Structure 1
């Protein structure tokens, strides 16, 4: 059967509309409850650690930095309380990144976007900015009324805005200032910054972080979570049907109706939904969504809608947790009259936990057993070997000795491999010529030029493995490195 084509079907389609929805400002309402208290506690902990950790001291000995956590770029060191890491130990940071990523996967497998709702820096600082805004401008209704006012230029309103933005800028400035304190001695740098004698780079970083904190937490807010952050788009592929997410339990809530109408139906023995469509869950949501519409990418699962709904349910005399951490499996089980079941321990979470345990165990083992005396040897490439006038063979090497202790160490250099070989350190005199002894300064790398000489008749092979041993005379600790002795 042929379809009749109408003239209007041939007209071009108007595609001049916007490519994305216009931004609508969100006015989250304050709420109290279990999850709000958890968020306050975690916010205080995270901000306290971030702002004040640079001022914690840790004694490492004479002339060593006493800042507990310090990223010392000039001296290429990272200090974390009793741990001191060198550039050669970058694999520890690799291990930490693996643990952090898998821990994020584990949190997602157990409780959805726990990181987004409670620990993400964007969430923490936005929460703090919202608290300042409510303190100065009032709660949701007051802020909406003031923003919609026909006369926004009243002196009282201007003073509120100036005070709010001043406090926001102060928080943002201290956020940027705290960041740079992790890269230099905090008290010294604070004094330099206050007296305008600090490094230019420090002022640049403080300005950039102040601007980004002010803009992201003060203005963009939920747009960062919805449009900028990749995690909402990734986490869907890392979850399963057993993960607990903030969920509207529609098996209890539908059909929505007023308290009076629900009471009448229950009196007649008919089913009535607990949801009274008060929209308090929407009012408190920091991204402005309706959790009753189901799972959404915009939801950061902070749990504030749970607190708001629990408050309403308590007031109308209905059971709490109409909104709660749940999954669709349990909703269907309750609809079938079966009890809900939870499986936080399952192959996925076991695998994530095992990866964290294995990587953490390896890191801990290597950290506890790492040597504070390291040696690296590099053979000269041009020439590989030189034949001396007496017929003996000489090879040259560059040796780097790393002393990770906080005191000077006297080391002795021995070689093993070529027959009747001797070693000489260029530019260094030793009381024992056949066994050079060198002092390596504390927390330093010493580069040495070594000449290894051996009789040709005793070493006819084209190449002989040679092992260099560096021995701490005082502690008896030995570090070794292997290369080859070449016969031309």
Structure 2
């Protein structure tokens, strides 16, 4: 038996090496701070913005009213049957993601993705409490727990939990009046669903932003696997100018006396990377195009008196042209190309379609459902009566009188259940179900025909706005 027979089998699993990014300053880092403050501000503060819609409507600017099945967004009110507006916005979001990816790679992932934004916030808190990269590494490698390590970790976890609690709390505020729900949450009178939702979101925010971090981007997110379909050789991504940086200071080529490249192997680009990769190894699935490595490398190049841009936003065609000494394309030519123009045109087309649908939609609507049991009733005088459930929708902020009539056959007449008039008062910003009887006199054409098409009209008598639905009158089969 050979000695190798007793060797343990190689492990197919490598334990995770936690990433502790170093603090960096620069243009891209400042842009990320601005976007983080902007996006978090929108998320946390939007439920508290008020918008006056009148005495009968909620005054919260953005509200998902599940109880009444409506969505309020400032002056826009979306009803359940208008869900195509939400679908259109989702399509625009997808096309926008395709557009930005085609032009600038995973720029969404690097700057505006919620996972990135909250991870940045959690790392910032961690840095405030435990120190910069080296201090956090020493604390991580310290196997023995002492009072200092326990105090720092507990403080960090409490801060993370409070951020997670604020995140879950802000989310539930979108589904109810924020000030009222806030008081109910503090006094223990809120619905159990609110507490459950806050607990789940607190736990997931704590885990995703504080514990998993880059693992979500690498393993859980599907976007890295499909982004290549949106990119081509003209897409601007973060890249390393190998032709200028190699050979590095510590490579064998330098030891043999060959000229040294600009890269001094300082590892600054690796130490600031939030996903822990080395951009000098080329494009990688893990790269989120946050460009922090550009800031770190530019800072080092400035200090050693070398030109900035060793790591930079560049396309694969730029690298080939630079190697051969040819001029590179200007940025606008990389961005304005057939692929991005197509995505922009589709995005704009969907947007204009939604705006057009929003401006032409009526403030009053109706639906008609014939009652099928029975299909018709023969009255004592021989006339035929059909029954219809007419649902009236009044989108105005005040009660409106609706007058109901029929057209298409002069023999038909209308009767409304519960009133001798042909008008009904529909409450503000609500639907109202009215049972409508349509009667055809004995011997008339509709009474003697098996099916007669006619139209039911409603008119808002306060402003003359009208709507209609076509339906069928069922008579005797002679």
TM over 0.5: yes
Residue 468 in structure 1 maps to residue 451 in structure 2: no
Question: Which residue in the other structure is 2:268 paired with?
Answer: 280
The match for 1:97 among 84, 90, 93 is 90
- 1:115-194 alignment, distance < 5 Å: 115-153=108-146, 155-194=147-186
The question of whether the paired residues in 1 share the 8 Å contact of 2:386 and 2:437 is answered with yes
CA–CA distance in 2 between the matches of 1:312 and 1:40?
21
**SS at 1:343's partner residue?**
helix
Take 1:471 and 1:284, find their aligned partners in 2: how far apart are those partners?
Answer: 66
Aligned residues: 468
Cα distance in 1 for partners of 2:315, 2:304 equals 25
Structure 1 position 357 matched with structure 2 position 357: no
Please state whether the residue corresponding to 2:410 is helix, strand or coil: coil
Cα separation, 2, equivalents of 1:397 and 1:18: 72
Give the superposition deviation at 1:211. 0.3
- Per the normalisation by structure 1, the TM-score is 0.92
The 3 A distance-change label for structure 1 pair 23 and 53 is same
Match of 2:327 in 1: 339
Query: C-alpha deviations, 1:76-112, integer Å up to 9, x for none?
Result: 1111111111111111000001000010000100100
Distance in structure 1 (CA, Å) of the matches to 2:383 and 2:233: 74
Is 2:466 the counterpart of 1:478? Answer: yes
Give the deviation of 1:20 after TM superposition.
3.9
Instruction: Quote the residue 1:298 is aligned against.
Output: 286
Structure 2 partner of 1:4? none
The equivalences for 1:240-279 within 5 A come to 240-257=232-249, 272-279=260-267
* Residue equivalent to 2:439: 453
TM-score by length of structure 2 reads 0.93
Runs of 5+ consecutive residues of structure 2 not aligned to the other structure: none
Query: What secondary structure does 2:296 align onto?
Result: helix
Task: Select which of 4, 22, 27 maps to 1:29.
Answer: 22
Alignment partners' CA distance in 2, 1:370 and 1:304: 47
In structure 2, distance between residues paired with 1:44 and 1:141: 26
Q: Deviations over 1:180-232 (max 9, x none)?
A: 01111111111111122211111100100000001111110010111111111
Question: Is 1:370 equivalent to 2:358 in the alignment?
Answer: no
Q: Measured at CA, do residues 47 and 93 of structure 1 come closer, stay the same or move farther in structure 2, by a change above 3 Å? A: same
Contact 1:117–1:301, Cα closer than 8 Å, also in 2: yes
Q: Shift of the alpha carbon at 1:247?
A: 0.8
Query: Secondary structure, in 3 states, of the residue corresponding to 1:84?
Result: strand
Task: Show structure 1 runs of 5+ residues with no match.
Answer: 1-6, 431-435
Pairing 1:310-325 to 2, within 5 Å after superposition: 310-325=298-313
RMSD, matched Cα: 2.2
Alpha-carbon distance in structure 1 between the residues aligned to 2:10 and 2:66? 51
Which residue, 308, 315, 318 being the options, matches 1:330?
A: 318
8 Å CA contact 1:58–1:81 kept in 2: the answer is: yes
Do 1:423 and 1:453's aligned partners in 2 also have CA atoms closer than 8 Å? yes
